Chain A
Amino acid sequence: MLLSYVKFALGTFAHRKTRSLLTMIGIFIGIAAVVALIGLGEGLRGAIIGQFGFLGPDVLDIQASGLNFAGPPGTAVVKPLTEDLTEKVERIPGVEAAINRYIESGTMEFNDKQDIVFAWNMPEGKDRATLEGMLNLKVSQGRLLKDGDNLKVMVGSGFTDKDRFGKPVQLGNRILFKGVEFEVIGILEKKGSFIFDTALIMNEDVLVDNFREDGSVNVIAVKVKDVEAVDSVKTNIEQLLRKERDVKKGEEDFVVGSPEATLQTIDETIFGVQLFIYVIAAVAIIVGAIGITNTMYTAVLERTKEIGIMKSIGATNQTIFALFFIESGLLGLVGGLIGISAGFALSYSFAFLGRQILGSDLIQADIGIGLVLGSLFFSVLVGLLAGVIPAYKASKKHPVDSLRYAQ
């Protein structure tokens, strides 16, 4: 029976396409905005997680603070960290490993073309395995670096893109980085993050000997033995660094952070943006709901005679209510469907534009099935709610008066 009613409502619906479509604009805009922004937000979040490369509750990183807008982490600071700090940090109780991370920008030459790239280091000895594990580092071709590899590099998957240097970088190729010649011995798996995909990776002593005479280090990555102790270790590191760098509490020129905490901050930011969008979307949806109510009121009035006819051939009040109620829900459903499609289109084209303009993989769209189903459910719900009063009015119409209603 319900199915018959739905079919009936669909029939009337198809008959009033233009009005129906106009009605759905509100719902459509609201749902499109929600889908597009949640989609982008999720994509952004995913990309940022990838960006860190490693995440875990037992990882901390130390950076000197200062100007740090454009380049990779820790490359443009006022007073850099130094290597001797790493050893001191490693001696703090509860620290499993403190690893120097050097990040070096410079000109790379390949196939007679030049471009600015950056390189970072793999530590020697047992720290190498620790870092490989933390970063989940794997090659798609060739091999990972090992101790004693001199003037050899692993390259990110981005270098296999032929556009960058006119032809793809391949295993065994020779490249120049800051005037030093390296041999490519491994190509990393694609990670979707520029930290990996557009980097050269070389052994620590190779990087230090050739490019880093001053003993400065960009990031100190710290692995903590016991997750429970992360906070106390962090406090101890901060204390040590304040002493070593001779700064007062509250005036630190360094940051001890955990990637997880950073992610939380980003989540909060995204949430803030999303909240704003939700408010706009909510307003659009309320306007949409009012639009549906209004359309349904008009429909009830216009179809007064039809209501009278249906009552005269046996439709009960409940039946009339159901017919208009379902029709209203359908308005919401179709509005939602169009909105979701538009949301898809919007977020993917935004993401595409963003990538073109910023040249970064950071902006991604990610629309899950949950979001789609949730939006559909919600738009039907809005349609149904908007239809309650008009459908009730329709159901209460007097049969004889309705039949007398002039069309």
Chain B
Amino acid sequence: MGKAIIRLEQVWKVYSLGKVEVAALRGLNLDVKRGEFVAVMGPSGSGKSTAVNMIGCLDIPSKGRILLEDKDISHLSESALAQIRGKKIGFIFQQFNLISTLTALENVMLPMIFQDIPEDERRKKAWELLELVGLADRMQHKPSELSGGQQQRVAIARALANDPEVIIADEPTGNLDSKTGAMVLDFLKRLHKEEKRTIIMVTHDEQLAHAAERIEYLKDGIIVKSKVKLAK
């Protein structure tokens, strides 16, 4: 396997809630190689979301370093982080997080607006991506007119809009029934297998986690166990 695309070195994240301080991460170390599919598991509150948000450049650590393609991103400004996540990261959330006033097509086009991609190119790409996730007939629908599974597929298409290296899925099936969840997982597997994208998926479901090549178990802000599967 290739070298690390993501590396977390002794990462701490401390939230201060008034007088009380909550350490969500306590010196987390993690390497993710290019093209790897990693699942992150652990009890609620163990710091999974905190960790992947930082990998996705949504936040910076209180202490420690995060390297993305050998570049230290732990001290970058909001704007610099926004640029990186716009280009290199694709997010998929448990709550789908689509913009309710926009159609499926517009939602998929939105990340490309932020990258200054011309309108006709945006439209074409969004069209292709929605076809890829099997929603060709739902382009003009608003999120409220789509089922949960369909919304999550729009979100997958949106995550792919700017051809990101890394896809971060934080409990992508958490709000879906097991059948729809399996379908969403299938998409992630395809992105990993066919397109060689790096995927980091948080899940509570051991069975889904086994789709990954490696499972990391988090507890109280550090990795307590790793399970590596042999490449199939």
Chain A residues with a Cβ under 8 A of chain B: 1, 4-5, 8, 11-12, 15, 305-306, 308-319, 398-400, 403
Are the CB atoms of B111 and A314 closer together than 8 Å?
yes
**B9 interface contact, C-beta 8 A:** no
Known interface pairs A315-B82, A400-B58, A403-B93; A310-B101 also in contact (CB < 8 Å):
no
- Closest B residue by C-beta to A3: B119
Do A315 and B114 touch (CB < 8 A)? yes
Are the C-beta atoms of B99 and A399 separated by less than 8 Å?
no
Chain A residues with Cβ below 8 Å from B82 are 311, 314-317, 319
In the complex, whether B138 has a CB less than 8 A from a CB of chain A is no
Report which of B59, B97, B106, B162 forms a contact with A400, defined as CB distance below 8 A.
Answer: B59
Nearest Cβ on chain A to B23's Cβ, whole angstroms: 16
The answer to whether B86 touches A313 (Cβ under 8 A) is: yes
For chain B, residues 33 to 55, give those with C-beta under 8 angstroms from any C-beta of chain A.
53
- B114 and A313 form a contact (CB under 8 A): yes
Query: Can you identify 30 A-B contacts, CB atoms within 8 angstroms?
Result: A1-B113, A4-B119, A5-B113, A8-B113, A11-B102, A11-B106, A305-B97, A306-B99, A310-B99, A310-B114, A311-B82, A312-B56, A312-B97, A313-B158, A313-B161, A314-B82, A314-B111, A314-B114, A314-B115, A315-B82, A316-B78, A316-B79, A316-B82, A316-B83, A319-B82, A398-B59, A400-B53, A400-B59, A403-B58, A403-B97
B82 — nearest CB in chain A belongs to which residue? A316
Does B189 make an interface contact (CB < 8 A)? no
Q: Shortest beta-carbon distance, A223 to chain B, in Å?
A: 68
In the assembled complex, the CB of A192 is this many whole angstroms from the nearest CB of chain B, namely 52
* Bound Cα distance A145, B56 (Å): 93
Cα separation A179 to B12 with both chains bound (whole Å)? 110
Say whether A309 contacts B58, CB under 8 Å: no
Selected contact of B58 from candidates A1, A12, A312, A319, CB within 8 Å: A312
Does B63 sit at the interface, judged by CB under 8 A? no
Q: Which residues of A contact B93 (CB under 8 A)?
A: 312, 403
Question: Given A1-B116, A4-B119, A313–B101 Cβ distance below 8 Å?
Answer: no
Q: Interface 1/0s, chain B 117-137, versus A by CB < 8 A?
A: 001000000000000000000
Contact A314 B58 (CB under 8 A): no
Q: Which residues of chain B are near A318, meaning CB under 8 Å?
A: 79
Question: Cα distance A312–B155 when bound, in Å?
Answer: 12
Report chain B residues within 8 Å CB of A314: 82-83, 85-87, 111, 114-115, 162
Question: With the chains together, A310 CA to B85 CA distance in Å?
Answer: 11
Do B110 and A313 touch across chains, with their CB atoms under 8 A apart?
yes
Query: Could you tell me if A312 and B101 are in contact, using CB atoms closer than 8 angstroms?
Result: no
Q: A283: shortest Cβ distance to chain B, in Å?
A: 34
List B51-109 residues whose CB lies under 8 Å from chain A.
Answer: 53, 56, 58-59, 78-79, 82-83, 85-87, 91, 93, 97-99, 101-102, 106
A319 contact set on B, CB distance < 8 A = 82, 114
The answer to whether B113 and A317 touch across the interface, beta carbons within 8 angstroms, is no
Nearest 9 pairs between A and B by C-beta? A314-B86, A316-B82, A313-B111, A314-B114, A399-B58, A4-B113, A316-B79, A309-B97, A15-B101
> Roughly how many angstroms separate A313 CA and B158 CA in the complex, as a whole number?
8
A265 to nearest B CB, angstroms? 57
Cβ of A273 to closest chain B Cβ, rounded Å? 45
Q: How far apart are the CA atoms of A103 and B110 in the complex, in Å?
A: 77
Shortest C-beta distance, B154 to chain A (Å), equals 12
List A contacts of B98 (CB < 8 A). Answer: 309
Chain B hits for A316, CB < 8 A = 78-79, 82-83, 86, 114
Q: In the bound complex, do residue B83 and residue A313 qualify as a contact, i.e. CB atoms below 8 Å apart?
A: no
Partner of A12, one of B53, B87, B97, B101: B101
